[in-house]
Amino acid sequence: MSHTEVHITASGGDYFASGEYFDPRVCCDAHERAMIDALRSYLRPQAAPACLVARLKATLDRCCEEEDR
């Protein structure tokens, strides 16, 4: 089992737990960037049914609670 930390930023890149900056525009080839964009659009939809938003919120809340333990 592995543990992954995700930090959401407004800059379009991501920070790793170590504080390093990950910029897919620089670090990835075209295929990898397309995969990342597809996953982002799937995981961060512009519009979603209220039931999905509630389930996502509950999941994130559980993850945060587990992290605080």
For the full predicted model, state whether its pTM sits above 0.85.
Answer: no
pLDDT digits (tens, 9 = 90+) for 23-42: 888 888 999 999 988 888 88
Nearest to 63 by CA among 9, 8, 13: 8
Maximum Cα–Cα distance across the chain: 39
Of 8-12, 15-19, 46-50, the range with the highest mean pLDDT is 46-50
Question: Distance from CA of residue 68 to its chain's centroid?
Answer: 19
User: How remote is the C-alpha of 56 from its chain's centroid?
Assistant: 12
